[in-house]
């Protein structure tokens, strides 16, 4: 029954929070409208999300977000340093192939987005069978070590978040 009314509880909660932040005013009217949207939008769009990804909200997810934010901060300084000091012909750019253990499209999208956001790497393509991610790295000394780092640091944690 609760599944019928709230097919995606996470999406509903996010809609309510985003709506309240957009209105920027915590009143009863705003909260009521936010709840209406939080219930109606997932109901009408549930046909677009048939696979229903299982996301575990908890310490794993908070840890993942924290690590990504920290990496964005640190790696921004590294990329800025590379851009300012390194000559173009000394750049060691590489294509990396990251074998995926994640299977659900939502989890792979999250990983690809994380890779693009953390400076120095941009995810460019996925293999036709969805088992490998093509990533371009701006400057890496050891491509295999970089692939291992991404798998250990991000994918291992995402495997725990998307059970």
Partner 1 sequence: MTLFAEILVSALLVLGGVFVLVGSWGLAKLPSVMTRLHGPTKATTLGVGACLIASMIYFPFFSGTWSAHELLITLFLFLTAPVSANLIAKAHLHRQGRRIDPNPSDQIVDGLPPPLGTADWATFAGGTTTDTAIPGEADGDRRS
Instruction: Based on the shown chain and the rule CB under 8 A, indicate whether residue 93 belongs to the binding site for partner 1.
Output: yes
What 57-66 contacts at long range (C-beta under 8 Å, 24+ apart), as own/partner pairs, is 57/10, 60/157, 60/160, 60/161, 61/161, 63/157, 64/154, 64/157, 64/158, 64/161
* Widest Cα–Cα separation across the chain: 62
Q: How far is the CB of 46 from partner 1 (least distance, A)?
A: 10
Identify the CA nearest to 67 among candidates 132, 131, 111, 5: 111
Instruction: Based on the shown chain and the rule CB under 8 A, indicate whether residue 12 belongs to the binding site for partner 1.
Output: no
Q: How far is the CB of 14 from partner 1 (least distance, A)?
A: 10
Residue with Cβ nearer partner 1 (63 or 105): 105
Binding site for partner 1 (CB under 8 A): 18, 21-22, 24, 47, 50-51, 72-73, 75-76, 79-80, 83-84, 88, 91, 93, 95-97, 99, 103-105, 108, 112-113, 115-117, 119-120, 122-132, 134, 136, 138
């Amino acid at each position: 029954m609760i599944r019928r009314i709230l097919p995606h509880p996470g999406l509903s909660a996010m809609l309510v929070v985003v709506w309240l932040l957009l209105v920027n005013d915590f009143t009863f009217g705003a909260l009521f409208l936010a709840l209406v949207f939080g219930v109606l939008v997932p109901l009408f769009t549930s046909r677009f999300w048939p696979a229903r990804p299982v996301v575990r909200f908890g310490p794993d997810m908070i840890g993942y977000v924290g690590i990504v934010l920290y990496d964005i901060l640190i790696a921004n300084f590294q990329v800025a340093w590379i851009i300012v000091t390194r000559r173009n012909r000394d750049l060691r750019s590489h294509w990396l192939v990251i074998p995926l253990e994640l299977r659900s499209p939502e989890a792979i999208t999250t990983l690809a987005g994380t890779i693009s956001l953390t400076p120095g790497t941009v995810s460019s393509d996925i293999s036709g069978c969805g088992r490998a991610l093509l990533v371009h790295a701006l400057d890496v000394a050891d491509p295999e070590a970089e692939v291992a780092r991404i798998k250990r640091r991000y994918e291992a944690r995402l495997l725990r978040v998307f059970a």
